Structure formats: C-alpha cells, structure tokens
C-alpha cells in the first residue's frame, strides 16, 4: 500500500508531530509498505528525508510559528507529491492539522486519510464546543468560563474569576494541545491569574478557564468503538506539562491503571460515549481527572493523539497485546 505520513505542520505541537510521524513512518516501512513522509509547512516541496530529519526537543518559538502560512497547506494538499497515494496517515497535531482544515483539503482532493472527519475534528479541537457536547450527552466535565482576546482584563474580571474557582483553576488555550500555553493557578493571586490568561491568549483567541480537579490523571484510548486499557499518568513532580509528556523518565505510567473494576469500566464507557458524541472515527484518546471520591471528569478528546515512543495510545495498545506496527495498520484499516 502507498502511504503518505503527514507530519510537522504549523502548530505549536509541530515538533511532537514530527516525532510521531517518524515512529509511524518506520513502523509502516518495516511492514513492507511504500511510505513517504510529508511536512505540509513546506508547501509543494513537502517531502521529507526521514534519515536526515533533525527534530528539536522544545516547541517552536513564536517567531518560527509566525513564519508559517496556511497557504502552504493548500500547496501541499494539491501538489503531485500525493499522486497515487492510497491513504494519508495523519499525525498532525493542533491548529491546521487536527482541527479539520487539512482533513477538508484532503477530502477536496479525494484522498483517504486516517482519523476523524472534518466536523468531528473541528468539534474536538474547540474545547468549549466539545464540553458543551459532552455535557449534553451526560458526560461530566469541569465547570468553566472563557476570556476572549477582545475582552479587557480588569481587576473586577480577575476577582470574579477567582471567586468562581476558589479551589484552583486550569487556564489554557481553547484550541491547542500538548499543554502548550497551559497554567495551573492555585494561589488566588490576581497577577498569577492574569499572567496565565495572557499566556493562553498568545496561542488562541480564547482562554479556557476550568475548575481544577484534585486527583488522578487518566487517559483512555478508543480504537474503533472499543476502549483500550486505562493509562494512569504520574508525573515526577509538578504537573503533566510539555516536558513531562515528551521527556523519557519524567513521568511514570500505569497501564492498566490500578482501580476498582466498576470505576474503570465506567471511565471506559464515558470515553467511548465521548468519542461517539463528537462523531469521532478510527481512534481517539480521551483525557480524564479522577477526583478523590472516584468521580471521573472528562477534560478533552484528542482526535489525532501522539504516536511517539512516550505516547499514551501506543502504551494502551501494548497493554491490550497490540504491537505498535499492528496499531498503525489497524488505524489504516479503520479508515
């Protein structure tokens, strides 16, 4: 099969995507497929040489992100680099890759691709819209509010936010992943709240402020319409930020997570419900916090989760007896 692995892109998660793409490329190559690597940020010259690819360990700088253009994505999708491709295996994360934009371009070109379709991708990427959908389906999600880039951030606004989230808050961009631009604020200090909001607004036009849930960090991969074993994430100090996610040894992972069987089954059921209510297809990863009373709270649904050596979907698949290359081929079959 001729497979184009789409990786990199123009979001702050670009370098994570490159690592995911390299892992998928090598796995499919070993299975005998005709595999090519493509970075849409390069436009029509999107083809990459995996053997010489150097991937930074830190996110792109704001200057680097500002240099990218969505026009390059159109050039890539319409170029002859994708001629004759049976399927695009997309591991693009974040803006212009996971949000339905590239999916729409590939559909216009008539090329099949892995993961969710345009609408589901857009809904899941917009955290506020997905939370509204989850609540409508009876899936518990933390209380929230938003601050938009057009809002004036006054002391009165900050005091109102502090009053609403007395036990702590998570402040993050509404449409980014990999904890880019995210801050946990427990101090109640107005300067800390303002700084967290302004950081989030550097990466999105909307800052999402959620109630902080004290408890365990869980994630559930959904493959097809079935939940894989639950992964518990235990970061080595601090919280599960970019460094803890993508640096080996910075976090411990328990899979299957040790918990009451009924609680585990309920969390898995919520994951499948979340996957379905947003219209996801193929696979996804649903993130939860489990509070001290064993109540699960859904944080978000990731339609193109990471596929690196430290990523969570491959860990869950391995616990279910599915090797990484088999997982990649299964995702293609589901597409």
Residue 130 and residue 175: Cα distance in Å, rounded? Answer: 11
CB 111 within 8 A of CB 88: yes
Question: How far out from the chain centre does Cα 258 lie?
Answer: 24
**How many CB atoms neighbour CB 309 within 10 A?**
14
* Of 319, 254, 311, the residue nearest 93 (C-alpha): 311
Query: With contact defined as beta carbons under 8 Å apart, do 77 and 4 qualify?
Result: no
Catalytic residues: 13, 178, 246, 285, 287, 300, 302, 306
Collect all residues with Cβ–Cβ distance below 8 Å to 327 and sequence separation of at least 6. 223, 313, 314, 317
Provide the residue count of the chain.
335
Q: What's the rounded Cα separation, in Å, for the pair 22 and 308?
A: 8
């Amino acid at each position: 099969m001729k497979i184009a692995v789409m990786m990199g892109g123009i979001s702050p998660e670009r370098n994570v995507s490159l690592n995911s793409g390299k892992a998928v490329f090598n796995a499919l190559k070993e299975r005998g497929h005709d595999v090519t690597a493509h970075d849409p940020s390069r436009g029509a010259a999107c083809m990459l040489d995996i053997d010489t690819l150097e991937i930074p360990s830190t996110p792109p700088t704001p200057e680097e992100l500002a240099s990218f253009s969505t026009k390059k994505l159109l050039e890539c999708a319409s170029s002859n680099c994708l001629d004759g491709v049976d399927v695009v295996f997309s591991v693009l994360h974040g803006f212009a890759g996971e949000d339905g934009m590239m999916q729409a371009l590939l559909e216009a070109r008539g090329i099949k691709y892995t993961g969710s379709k345009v609408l589901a991708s857009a809904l899941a990427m917009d955290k506020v819209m997905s939370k509204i959908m989850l609540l409508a389906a009876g899936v518990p999600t933390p209380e929230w509010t938003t601050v938009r880039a057009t809002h004036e951030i006054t002391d009165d606004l900050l005091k109102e936010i502090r009053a609403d989230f007395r036990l702590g808050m998570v402040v993050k961009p509404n449409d980014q992943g990999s904890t880019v631009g995210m801050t946990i604020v427990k101090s109640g200090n107005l300067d800390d709240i303002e700084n967290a909001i302004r950081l989030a607004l550097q990466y999105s036009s909307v800052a999402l402020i959620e109630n902080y849930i004290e408890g365990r960090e869980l994630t559930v991969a959904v493959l097809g319409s079935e939940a894989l074993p639950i992964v518990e994430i235990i970061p080595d100090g601090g919280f599960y930020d970019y460094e803890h996610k993508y640096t080996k040894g910075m976090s411990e992972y328990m899979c299957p997570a040790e918990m009451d069987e009924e609680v585990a089954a309920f969390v898995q059921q919520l994951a499948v419900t979340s996957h379905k209510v947003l219209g996801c297809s193929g696979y996804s990863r649903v993130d939860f916090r489990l509070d001290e009373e064993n109540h699960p709270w859904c944080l978000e649904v990731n339609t193109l989760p990471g596929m690196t050596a430290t990523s969570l979907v491959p860990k869950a698949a391995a616990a279910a007896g599915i090797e990484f290359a088999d997982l990649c081929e299964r995702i293609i079959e589901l597409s």
